[in-house]
Structure 1
Amino acid sequence: MEKKKKKLQLIILAIVLSLFAAPYSSLAAKTYQPYAAAANEVSKPWMDQSLSAEERAALLLNEMTLEEKVTFVTGNLNNYYGFYNEGMDRLGIPALTMADGPAGVRIANPEIQDKKSTALPAPIALAATWDTEAARTYGELLGNEAFNTTHNVVLGPGLDIARFPWGERNFESLGEDPLLQSKLAVPYINGIQSYPVMATAKHYLLNNQETDRFTINSVASERAMNEVYARPFAEAIQNADLSSVMCSFNQVNGTSACENEAILTDLLKDQIGFEGFVMSDYGANLSTVESANAGMDLETPGAPTGLWEDKLLAAVQNGEVSEERIDDMVSRMLTEMFSKGLFDKPVQNNLIPAEEHGETAREIAEQSMVLMKNEKEALPLDKEELDSIAVIGPDADNGSVAGGGSSLVIPTYTVSPLEGIKNSVGDNVDVHYAPGSDPISAGDILPGPSAVPSSLLSTGGEQSESGLKAEYWTNINFEGEPSLVRTDNQVNFNFGFYNYEGLNAQSPKLPKTPGDFNREMSARWTGEITAPESGEYVLSLSSLGTGKLYLDGELLIDNNSKDLVTDKKTVSLAKGEKHQVRIEYSTGKSGDVQDFGAMVRFGWEPPTGAVDAKIQEAVNLAKKSDVAVVVTHTYDSEGYVDTSSLDLPNNQAQLIKEVAKANPKTIVVQMSGRAVQMDWQEDVPAIVQAWFAGQEQGNAIANILFGEENPSGKLPITFPVDEESTPVSDDIQFPGVDGISEYTEGIFTGYKGYEEQGIEPAYAFGHGLSYTTFDYKNVKAKAKTRGKHKETDVSVALNLRNTGDVTGSEVVQVYVGNLPTNVATPDKQLAGFEKVELKPDNQERVKINLDMKAFSYWDEETDQWIMPSGEVPIYVGSSSDDIRYTGSVYIK
């Protein structure tokens, strides 16, 4: 069983990799023409625009042969990395030209604008705006750039709930709460589809982890699926005319998502009422008859062995799949294509207005930034009172900090935090930079202690360099001459998926490793390690495959595992003494030990007081500067493993602590797509959560730091104290046991789980400070019935006043308490919110209509929403733990 699972993972990964790295065909090397033949309205009556989309689809469907229908619903791999479905010349059907789109349009064709588009703030940053207008603007920019870069399908938004705080793909999510996701997803999708472009919500369903994502069996109750995980999809379908839904790789309650009739037909199409089409994730379709009959409508390129087309045609001819099912697939796709204008308005290739769209990206980034902490008004910084600023951080000079994987776009231009700060202060303030740490890379996703800093390592000999001598082979046994010899600053590598063009390119400081080493390989690193202080050091080796660590010729660690493991050994090292170090690593044979590329890290845990040279340089700079700004960074990416740690990678936590000792005016700007552990938060007066802020990240950060913009972001996820203090810290929940992840927390996801289990977070859901203050007065909660069916509406009204000195925006949040029923319901559940901007001393009467599903629960016996009668608590506040008003309403 394990061998079959590994083989399946290998096949799927190879397909996914081929989509990113396959060579272009001769057709793809040319500028794409979406129509090979112009449609003629006389011979093609479905081109009559006076007819409805349904009528046009029916006319065209009637003209198609069975073979054409099957071809139409089957993806093909001969165009642009497989992200396209060819059109049909005879019928005038345009190609479906797809682009990844959660954080910008990822252009695969180098003939199209050098593959560059606007890198927007990550979706988690959009969620932190709590602003539906910002979501509409975000979607409109995506739709505009998709259409004008020859794309008519955007593979986004991502509606996967951020189930646990360390998820590597949380940055693509709109947060942990289904209502917040829904309220933002609807205008986001409407924005995309305001152009002749179809939006695709993904990944349906229970696709909440990267670890074992191709095979994990996600087991959840019907109630949890309806109240939490399917809820954003349902809202997008019912309120945004969503065109497409993408089914995921994982299993749902024992059946693969793309051949799961219970979720594709029963839940999505029959219960929720989805009239669009379901496409597979790339390579996620595992069957012919099962997936077709379950409700999947389009097989995107990359099924393991081409499971539709000829095989699907044969299945229809022998009666295993009905022609009516094929007609339903085709009709759904054609109706959406006609409805969204794909037949009538061909995509174009028009140059993106880089500066204009960059300004939009900056404005959204500014709204997204969360002021986590601000003691003694450490922020905003006053340029007039500063002579010098130390900017510190491994990638503070890099404007391409972003989440990796399929959502990573090549920006039209970038602005680093260092550039942004320099732009803001001009020549009047001295700004100096020290990295303080080695660059962050895909290796930092691996478990185990931070990598040994390059400043401790040397190649040795007369021409000694910082780092270790590295020798790479394309075989697993170090045979023959090495194919690559170089100096590596650290041993901290994660190849395979993460090493393809564009996916590991966020830092120009990182070495570029040829793709020849992405599968079977072996490597040897040799040189010297020198301790900065005398003491007990913990040396570690994290690896998948075979890893050996030698110190002074003695074998210290010997890893040989089919799993990614970390082994540690404590050694006594004296300051200044050089010790010979050698690391030998082999992936093992593909399909035997590992399938996903090299994973290896040489790590350390230093004794108290041991500070490496890079940190010391940053400390020295901080000492002589008026203020120190430490910009931290995590590496988050789609792939095949979640970090499972909330620690800042590559010794950044130690960097913050040491810099804060040297300069009490140390500001931390945290760039991540997920929560991080902040055991250093008491050491600094101010923290800004800046997320992955897009290509204008530097200017947006500077505008917040210097008060040009007042921070208004609120956390869309809970920041826990540590990995053990969450509602999903049990192994059966994540990463799962025996290939099964059990959603035992049920409906109590995110902040609802913290409340239910009495777990105190570091920073609560909805938290976010401002440079001004707001007062809540005259709060009224009211329930009323309307119509002949006596439907209930609940609203909250209040007077909101800006009681500070600067203009600012407040997000008023309304939560519903326990419902009057014996069924378990949350202590607090988001029921509504409103973002309001006010000038100093101005007041506005704010009315918020609440979501009535917050007053209901899904009943599994009757398969419907139940709204119990009785008194329901109402909480109004600035966050889930900053409640300014408590009241109640009576539900009849």
Structure 2
Amino acid sequence: MKKKPKMKFKLIMLTLILSLMVTPFSALAAETSQPWMNKSLSAKERANLLLEKMTLEEKVSFVTGNLNNFYGFYNEGLERLGIPALTMADGPAGVRIANPDIQDKKSTALPAPIALAATWDEKAAKTYGELIGNEAFNTTHNVVLGPGLDIARFPWGERNFESLGEDQLLQSKLAVPYVNGIQSYPVMATAKHFLLNNQETERFTINSVASERAIQEVYARPFADVIQKADLSSVMCSFNEVNGTSACENETLLSDILKKQIGFEGFVMSDYGANYTTAESANAGLDLETPGAPNGHWEEKLLKAVKEGQVSEKQIDDMVSRVLTEMFSKGLFDQPVQNNLIPAEEHGEVAREIAEQSMVLMKNEKNALPLDKDALDSIAVIGPDADNASAAGGGSSLVIPTYTVSPLEGIKNYAGEDTKVTYAPGSDPISAGDILPGPSAVPSSLLSPGGNGKESGLKGEYWTNLHFEGEPYLTRTDNQVNFNLGFYNYDGLNAQSPKLPKTPGEFNREMSARWTGAIAAPETGEYVLSLSSLGTGKLYLDGKLLIDNESKKLVTDQKTVSLEKGEKHQVRIEYSTGEAGDAQDFGAMIRFGWEPPKDAIDQKMQEAVNLAKKSDVAVVVTHTYDSEGYVDNNSLDLPNNQAQLIEKVSEANPNTIVVQMSGRAVQMDWQDDVPAIVQAWFAGQEQGNAIANVLFGEVNPSGKLPITFPVDELNTPVSDEIQFPGVEGISEYSEGVFTGYKGYEKEGIKPAFAFGHGLSYTTFDYKNVKAKAKTKGKNKDTEITVDLNVRNTGDVTGSEVVQVYAGKLPAKVDTPAKQLAGFKKVELKPGKQQRVKITLDAKAFSYWDEKSDQWVMPSGKVPIYVGSSSEDIRLVGSVHIR
């Protein structure tokens, strides 16, 4: 009986020995027929061996991307030579899975990149990147289209949520570990968008005009750092023009700066549809055309250009070699992608921890936070979407989460059964329509569609033609007339609340619609009614034409009318994407808006106010809709009357806490009305639990603002029309290197909340600062360091981000009065002190000299500012650069 196990063991060992003997021979056979599969060779050597076996036709096809699968972005690879396809996924805020056959398109929805930036934590950035790399690889993707390294130039930028902030050093410090995290798996990271892709308004055509110095010091800086410090695989060029030449055919950008000066050895891919030429883009330095135009500009056209001598085969070889080398370097040949189920709970916990670190305690008077659940009998949770987890950035960054936790759910879970938690929306749900300019949409509770029912809203009739011809394709009741279709309405690209109706894709281009019903004012007074539209829009009140819009651009017109409380007036709105032009390209854009008298509030808002009155504390959860697309709303107002909601709720209950969820700055005229504000960003799928943990003190907030919050849109360094949206298709970067907080300081503009601002439930003391500079190494590089003592002087453990700013340089050019030069996040227990040493960024003490085309570090004395924000300076010193 005892011999059988031994025999079994011998058989197992024999099988293992035979397999070990056979495997090398099979591998050797493969390497003989395909020598580039020899792992002992360098990535460059392997790429060169493979390149020799490719025909010209295969090379051109390889660098021409295509959609070989409706659900994903690819270049097809080449089966004959064993080249795997590049399977790409949008990725700045998680892995966006397009194929429904892959895990139901679900992955971990991480906090938005702007939230990651608010952590000021390099370890968090590495963890963030590692999770994305892990999920990309395990959902069949080997290329991630992220991180986004576009500087948040405008506080109202609709794509700021994808950015890592307004400062180039903060971006660089976080982007390097982010990219290293992604590429720790057999996955290639793609930094985007190169370059000056800083607005959505006219993003396909705008000519971004900036100085060489601004490009080098600010906008190209994060790209340079991830190339030089993280072995970045790919860079994506943008749609816009840069100094008069399209970015994807801009030789100065792609060849001179990116490849020669910075030393980028990876490959440049176009944004989808951003390549407009054949020979011009190939010769300028574009290496891979991604799908876009119906037939693209490469493939057969590029092959013809090579045969006619417009593009050399040497240039084609360089393109192919760059892509292949990165594929070998990152393991794409040796470790094929897999489809393994994502560990939802485990990865959700990572998302929650990053969200908790990102939340910024903007204000906390009289220790209104943290909340003590044992001392509270009732909590009113108020906000249009506080009961669902729809607060997320839209567009290509939108991730379908594995699960969600709403703010209401998170607060209920933490408060427990002994505390009564109730909910009122206070306003209508936030939608893509709220990106449009103009006053907030008329609340649904003021509108009625007619008939005998008590339904709110207007009757909507939709046609798939321009002139209301035939029977309507769709008839329904719409709560509001507040629509932004086209790109914003494609499946998977819109972050709409589940409370909103889904509009069929048939209306995403050419369409017409009519809304009819009645409006009744909540109070007697003067009301401003408005219509924002692109195409042709008409507003009739009691049968009379009140507003008539017809425009190739998005416009807002408004009229003041006198209305009596409760008196119904007939409303008719007629809209067509029209023959006026551009509306058909972008999709329907229309909003029926209002500006009410100060004390006029609608029924939903009144219900929220009543709930707040009878509760111990009110938590108002607000949010914006931010998305890639066609429009930047340069108003910083909260949409759908949320500012008024905060004002009225805080009047009813002085214990009102505001939790603001957005990917950009918002105007806070109401900040003096409330004792506490938490900036929670778009916090990912665990947003509810993260918010609750911060509100109740389970987590001590440590986030710091990565962008400046201005008082309003008129008081910023980029408020001139020539800067945004631009004049006659040109956006002048006239602020130069004085982006963000540097511009506010230069112009003497006082912000509402400064760059780097963020409070804590404890306090910190700074002492004994010392700054010194010394030369080191063969190249005589200057190393500048700052040392200081930091003590936790409060009662709870907390983390502080110590920020160091370099002052004005003794230079012949104008330099910022303060520029971030270094930072470090430290955690301290109550009463504990730590000596903190921070090595500063040498480029914060340098400038780009346009005459010599190089960095210059001037000699002389430079002020050093150490503090808790760009405004909250605790210690001042200086350093002498020799």
* TM-score bin (small chain): over 0.9
Q: Does 1:128 align with 2:99?
A: no
Shift of 1:207: 0.2
1:229 pairs with one of 203, 209, 219: 219
Q: Deviations over 1:611-644 (max 9, x none)?
A: 1101100000000000000000100000011011
For 1:736 and 1:546, locate their aligned partners in 2 and report how far apart those are by CA, in whole Å.
24
Contact 1:381 1:705 in 2 (8 A): yes
Contact 2:620 2:658 in 1 (8 A): yes
Q: Deviations over 1:97-138 (max 9, x none)?
A: 000000000001111000000000000000000000000000
Matched letter for residue 178 of structure 1: Q
Instruction: Describe the SS at the equivalent of 2:746.
Output: helix
Partner of residue 756, structure 1: 746
1:541 pairs with one of 531, 537, 548: 531
Q: Does 1:718 align with 2:716?
A: no
Partner of residue 785, structure 1: 775
For 1:833 and 1:424, locate their aligned partners in 2 and report how far apart those are by CA, in whole Å.
34
Partner of residue 16, structure 1: none
2:800 pairs with one of 806, 810, 831: 810
Contact 1:519 1:590 in 2 (8 A): no
2:87 pairs with one of 94, 97, 100: 97
Size of the aligned set, in residue pairs, is 856
Partner of residue 704, structure 1: 694
Instruction: Describe the SS at the equivalent of 2:340.
Output: coil
- Going from structure 1 to structure 2, the CA distance change for 1:38 and 1:265 (only over 3 Å counts) comes to farther
Matched letter for residue 357 of structure 1: H
Q: Deviations over 1:515-548 (max 9, x none)?
A: 0111111111111101000000000011111111
Q: Does 1:420 align with 2:410?
A: yes
Partner of residue 134, structure 2: 144
Alignment of 1:348-359 (within 5 A): 348-359=338-349
Contact 2:166 2:707 in 1 (8 A): yes
Q: Deviations over 1:794-831 (max 9, x none)?
A: 10011111110001000000000100012100000000
Matched letter for residue 151 of structure 1: H
Q: Does 1:644 align with 2:630?
A: no
For 1:486 and 1:464, locate their aligned partners in 2 and report how far apart those are by CA, in whole Å.
15
Partner of residue 4, structure 2: none
Partner of residue 596, structure 2: 606
For 1:658 and 1:201, locate their aligned partners in 2 and report how far apart those are by CA, in whole Å.
44
Q: Does 1:345 align with 2:335?
A: yes
Q: Does 1:69 align with 2:59?
A: yes
Q: Deviations over 1:47-70 (max 9, x none)?
A: 000111011011111111111111
2:143 pairs with one of 139, 153, 162: 153
Matched letter for residue 201 of structure 1: A
Contact 2:356 2:699 in 1 (8 A): yes
Contact 1:400 1:414 in 2 (8 A): no
For 2:496 and 2:373, locate their aligned partners in 1 and report how far apart those are by CA, in whole Å.
30
Partner of residue 627, structure 1: 617
Partner of residue 166, structure 1: 156
1:850 pairs with one of 822, 840, 847: 840
Partner of residue 432, structure 1: 422
Shift of 1:464: 4.1
Shift of 1:78: 2.4
CA RMSD of aligned residues (A): 1.1
Matched letter for residue 340 of structure 1: K
Alignment of 1:16-27 (within 5 A): none
For 1:83 and 1:353, locate their aligned partners in 2 and report how far apart those are by CA, in whole Å.
25
For 1:826 and 1:688, locate their aligned partners in 2 and report how far apart those are by CA, in whole Å.
30
Q: Does 1:210 align with 2:178?
A: no
Moved >3 Å (runs of 4+): 589-594
The range that moved more, 333-342 or 302-311, is: 302-311
- Going from structure 1 to structure 2, the CA distance change for 1:39 and 1:627 (only over 3 Å counts) comes to farther
Alignment of 1:477-488 (within 5 A): 477-488=467-478
For 1:40 and 1:787, locate their aligned partners in 2 and report how far apart those are by CA, in whole Å.
46
2:73 pairs with one of 65, 75, 83: 83
For 2:169 and 2:90, locate their aligned partners in 1 and report how far apart those are by CA, in whole Å.
24
Partner of residue 251, structure 1: 241
Q: Does 1:284 align with 2:269?
A: no
For 1:467 and 1:655, locate their aligned partners in 2 and report how far apart those are by CA, in whole Å.
20
Partner of residue 24, structure 1: none
2:105 pairs with one of 106, 115, 126: 115
2:819 pairs with one of 813, 818, 829: 829
Q: Deviations over 1:25-84 (max 9, x none)?
A: xxxxxxxxxxxx999222000000011101101111111111111111111222134511
Instruction: Describe the SS at the equivalent of 1:90.
Output: helix
For 2:83 and 2:495, locate their aligned partners in 1 and report how far apart those are by CA, in whole Å.
37
Instruction: Describe the SS at the equivalent of 1:643.
Output: coil
Shift of 1:404: 0.1
Q: Does 1:660 align with 2:653?
A: no
Q: Does 1:869 align with 2:859?
A: yes
For 1:624 and 1:593, locate their aligned partners in 2 and report how far apart those are by CA, in whole Å.
48
Contact 1:368 1:712 in 2 (8 A): yes
Alignment of 1:170-185 (within 5 A): 170-185=160-175
Q: Deviations over 1:458-482 (max 9, x none)?
A: 1122124100011111111111111
Partner of residue 55, structure 1: 45
2:314 pairs with one of 308, 320, 324: 324
Instruction: Describe the SS at the equivalent of 1:60.
Output: helix
Shift of 1:785: 1.6
- Going from structure 1 to structure 2, the CA distance change for 1:294 and 1:658 (only over 3 Å counts) comes to same
Partner of residue 28, structure 1: none
Shift of 1:792: 1.2
Matched letter for residue 349 of structure 1: N
Q: Does 1:738 align with 2:728?
A: yes
Matched letter for residue 422 of structure 2: H
Contact 1:76 1:82 in 2 (8 A): no
TM-score by length of 1: 0.95
Partner of residue 9, structure 1: none
For 1:182 and 1:87, locate their aligned partners in 2 and report how far apart those are by CA, in whole Å.
32
Shift of 1:883: 0.2
Partner of residue 300, structure 1: 290
Matched letter for residue 294 of structure 1: A
Q: Deviations over 1:181-221 (max 9, x none)?
A: 00000000000000000000000000000000000000000
Partner of residue 305, structure 2: 315
Instruction: Describe the SS at the equivalent of 1:546.
Output: strand
The range that moved more, 224-233 or 457-466, is: 457-466
Partner of residue 31, structure 1: none
- Going from structure 1 to structure 2, the CA distance change for 1:755 and 1:592 (only over 3 Å counts) comes to closer
Matched letter for residue 415 of structure 1: V
Partner of residue 21, structure 2: none
Matched letter for residue 77 of structure 1: L
Shift of 1:502: 1.8
Partner of residue 266, structure 1: 256
Matched letter for residue 818 of structure 2: K
Q: Does 1:674 align with 2:664?
A: yes
Contact 1:77 1:302 in 2 (8 A): no
Matched letter for residue 518 of structure 2: E
For 1:491 and 1:787, locate their aligned partners in 2 and report how far apart those are by CA, in whole Å.
66
| 5+ residue gaps, structure 2 | 1-26
Contact 2:535 2:582 in 1 (8 A): no
Matched letter for residue 539 of structure 2: L
Instruction: Describe the SS at the equivalent of 1:77.
Output: strand
Q: Deviations over 1:528-583 (max 9, x none)?
A: 10100000000001111111111111111111111111111100001111111111
Q: Deviations over 1:78-98 (max 9, x none)?
A: 213451111211100001000
Contact 1:544 1:594 in 2 (8 A): no
The range that moved more, 368-377 or 504-513, is: 504-513
For 2:425 and 2:482, locate their aligned partners in 1 and report how far apart those are by CA, in whole Å.
18
